[in-house]
Amino acid sequence: MMRNNFLFLVLFLGVVLFSACSDDDNKKSPKDFNGTYSEASTDNVLDLKYSNSVLAGKSVDFNSADGVKATLKLNNVVPGEKETVFSDIVLNRDNSIYTFVAENKNDARKVTLDGSIEKGKLALSVNVEFKENDLIGKWDMSSVSMTWKPHDYPLTTITVQIFGRPVEMTITTGLIATMAPGMLGTELKNYLQNVTFQKDGNIVATYNAATATEDNPEPEADWQLSPLNLAHYYVKDGICYVFLNLEMIMRQVEKDNAGRSTGGSSLENILAQLLDGGVPVHFELTTETGALKVYVDEVLLKQLGPIIPLVSGLIPDDASFEYMGVAVELGPIMENLPGALEATTEMQVGLNFVPAE
């Protein structure tokens, strides 16, 4: 009988102590969860999904003054918005977890939230729907276009044979603008099949993920659809602003095991600073044919000047292309490129698309 009483006492104390601990956890108020949440944090972890797919490299601020309602601020989550604020969000308690839904709507888009918060973790699902624009849809890669003025800026010289005699020829900006579209278009089609601009602001592409090796220098194409949240866009005043998520892109490159170096954190940092406000991409839609041209101009290309030395370091010393039967080395061209950009008065580098069937 004594043993049974002792067992009863142990069970009773266990229940009481467990209840006390549970009560302590349940007494945690949303006011105790205030702070900035990110994936990299160890104290305030953010589990963020955009269109039901993981979105890394972002942060969200949570604040509740009374434990009943809260304010959430999304930092660079919605394309084109540095901050998106949701106020007076009603918090619903489920033991130690608080759940909520919210909506933020304006003339350009609708953003909906579905989330939960507990001690040390904020889980958030974000869905965005932008209004209709000319870019929404799937576009097949067609060709590359390029203009570059002035035409006569020298980039390098080569020696060609004309009627059996060596003649020195200057490779100028105008010549590059004439040659590059055909060469790049042919090469690009080996890697890019189509691009889709989605209503949620995502840009996805069908790309070739095959990796060349010494044993198999020309592998069979491995066409894959890029994951969500590598790149987003939004359209304002006739210009498409593209936002590249460098952290997500680098993860995908590592996953594909493409074997390409990125130049390290220096290149990433410079790109992040330059592209913080989005890449301004111009676009023109031909009504008669439905063809789409997207291009960047000299304003952006001149801003990218600081990364040229870093990119040059990634190019093999023997890298070249063929012109008139002569190998034209890329090294001298890259060395003269900063000067050429400084002298540039007009430049467009673009891709041409047709509607996908």
- Longest C-alpha distance within the chain, in Å? 116
Non-local (6+) Cβ contacts of 300 within 8 A are: 279, 280
* 63 membership: H or E segment, kind and range: strand 59-63
pLDDT for residue 13 is more than 80: no
The C-alpha angle with vertex 255 and arms to 252 and 257, in degrees rounded to 5, equals 110
Compute the distance between CA of residue 96 and CA of residue 29 in angstroms, rounded to an integer. Answer: 9
Residue 333 host element (H or E): helix 330-343
* Burial grade of 157 (CB within 10 A; 0-12, 13-18, 19 or more): exposed
> Quick one: which of 330, 33, 12, 348 has its CA closest to 171?
330
Q: How far is it, in rounded angstroms, from Cα 146 to Cα 180?
A: 8
Q: What is the pTM of this model?
A: 0.85
Measured distance CA(58)–CA(180) in Å, rounded: 37
Q: Is the pLDDT of residue 269 over 80?
A: no
Residue 3 pLDDT more than 60? no
- Choice between 211 and 159, residue whose per-residue pLDDT is larger: 159
pLDDT value for 19: 44
- The residues, ordered by sequence, that sit 6+ positions from 17 with a Cβ below 8 Å of its Cβ are none
**Average pLDDT of the chain?**
88
> Rounded to whole angstroms, how far apart are CA atoms 49 and 122?
11
Does residue 275 surpass a pLDDT of 80? Answer: no
What is the Cα 302 distance to its own chain's centre? 21
pLDDT at 261: 45
Angle at 350 between CA 348 and CA 355, to 5 degrees: 145
Residue 322: pLDDT over 70: yes
Percent of the chain residues topping a pLDDT of 90: 69
pLDDT in tens, 40-61: 999 999 999 999 999 999 999 9
Q: Determine the pLDDT at residue 16.
A: 44
Of the two residues 181 and 314, the one the predictor is more confident about is 181
Alpha-carbon span 265 to 251, nearest angstrom: 14
Q: What are phi and psi of 209, to 5 degrees?
A: -95, 5
- Taking the C-alpha atoms of residue 321 and residue 179, their distance in angstroms, rounded to an integer, is 11
pLDDT of 189-242, one tens digit each?
999 999 999 999 999 999 998 888 888 888 999 999 999 999 999 999 999 999
Chain segment 128-144, per-residue pLDDT in tens: 999 999 999 999 999 99
